Amino acid sequence: MLLSNRVAIVTGGARGIGRGIALRFAEEGSSLAIVDVLVKEARQTANEISKKGREEVFIECDVSNSGQVKDMVSQVITKFGKVDILVNNAGIGPLPKSITDISEEDWDRVLAVNLKGVFLCSKAVVPHMKEKSYGKIINISSMGAIAPPGPNSHYSAAKAGILGLTRDLALELAPFNICVNAILPGAIRTDMFEQIIPPGANKEDFFMEMGKMFAPMQRMGTPEDIAGAALFLASDLSGYVTGDRLLVGGGSPLMRMIK
């Protein structure tokens, strides 16, 4: 197994991409800390990990709150003794909106969760990774960071900010054998994406059309697609990869380039 004896924190691990990553990591031998504000769903994910025979813990935490983040990492260290892998996945996906309709409160909240949360969680785990001279930090950005599908400037700005933060951290932490990389998912079938389904539309037909619209591979992605990429970046297969970004979108944004 690729992650035997590893300990991973997955923020936003209750559902969607985070859940998919957590379950795949468990299958590969990792112990998991599921970090989320969605208590019921997070406990269900943790229970599934336990059924796979792996150690797990659920910690309720708002990643935009520095005190809660510090306490969360402290709990993980107390339980497992170390942190090998951090997946910064927690985020909120607001509906597309013109900049003239985005309030200052909207902007602050999206940036706080989607970008500040990555900063706070990374800041909290880095000392523990340095102590072990080992670490993998995987930041979940978005294809919207480089090819926005529509007006959503606060979301796109936060996800683009993750790319800059990833490269800076990679440079700083490389001497400590800590790799920092980003994944840019394309259109992925998650609860978050279902927000944009028009009222009365058939879900399967909608997702099929979205796949044809955004991906040359003619389908939407799944959390398992992202989990496979995350597994590569979390494992020692990528031991000499840092400061990079991995696009997982079925060929996106090639579709835009050829139109």
CATH for 229: 3.40.50.720
- pLDDT > 70? residue 195: no
pLDDT computed for residue 255 by the predictor: 61
**Does any domain span residue 98?**
yes
Contacts within 8 Å (CB) and 24+ apart, 236-242? 236/2, 237/2, 238/136, 238/179, 238/181, 239/179, 241/179, 241/181, 242/170, 242/173, 242/174, 242/178, 242/179, 242/180, 242/181
pLDDT computed for residue 257 by the predictor: 52
pLDDT computed for residue 8 by the predictor: 98
Cβ atoms of 203 and 165 closer than 8 Å: no
pLDDT computed for residue 148 by the predictor: 83
**152 beta partners:** 97
Of the residues 58, 80, 119, 155, which is catalytic? 155
Terminal C-alpha separation, the chain: 42
pLDDT tens for 198-228 read: 777 777 777 777 777 778 888 889 999 999 9
How many CA atoms does the CB half-sphere of 85 hold within 13 Å?
30
**Does any domain span residue 177?**
yes
Range of the domain at 117: 7-258
- pLDDT > 80? residue 194: no
**Does any domain span residue 191?**
yes
Q: How far does CA 20 lie from the centroid of its chain?
A: 10
Nearest to 57 by CA among 21, 22, 92, 15: 22
In the chain, which ranges are E strands? 7-11, 31-36, 56-60, 85-88, 135-140, 178-185, 245-248
Higher per-residue confidence, 129 vs 191: 129
pLDDT computed for residue 147 by the predictor: 87
Cβ atoms of 85 and 6 closer than 8 Å: yes
pLDDT tens for 26-48 read: 999 999 999 999 999 999 999 99
pTM score of the predicted model = 0.94
Specify whether 155 is catalytic: yes
| pLDDT confidence band for 256 (50 / 70 / 90) | low
| pLDDT confidence band for 93 (50 / 70 / 90) | confident
**Does any domain span residue 2?**
no
Tell me which of 93-102, 175-184, 226-235 is least confident.
Answer: 93-102
pLDDT tens for 52-65 read: 999 999 999 999 99
**Does any domain span residue 209?**
yes
| Residue 150: φ, ψ to 5° | -175, 175
**Does any domain span residue 11?**
yes
Domain count, the chain: 1
- pLDDT > 90? residue 101: yes
**Does any domain span residue 211?**
yes
User: CB within 8 A of 19, min separation 6: which ones?
Assistant: 13, 41, 45, 223
Query: What percent of the chain clears pLDDT 90, i.e. is strictly above it?
Result: 80
**Does any domain span residue 125?**
yes
Across the range 81-109, mean pLDDT stands at 95
pLDDT tens for 128-179 read: 999 999 999 999 999 999 988 778 999 999 999 999 999 999 999 999 999 9
pLDDT tens for 236-250 read: 999 999 999 999 999
202: three-class secondary structure by DSSP: coil
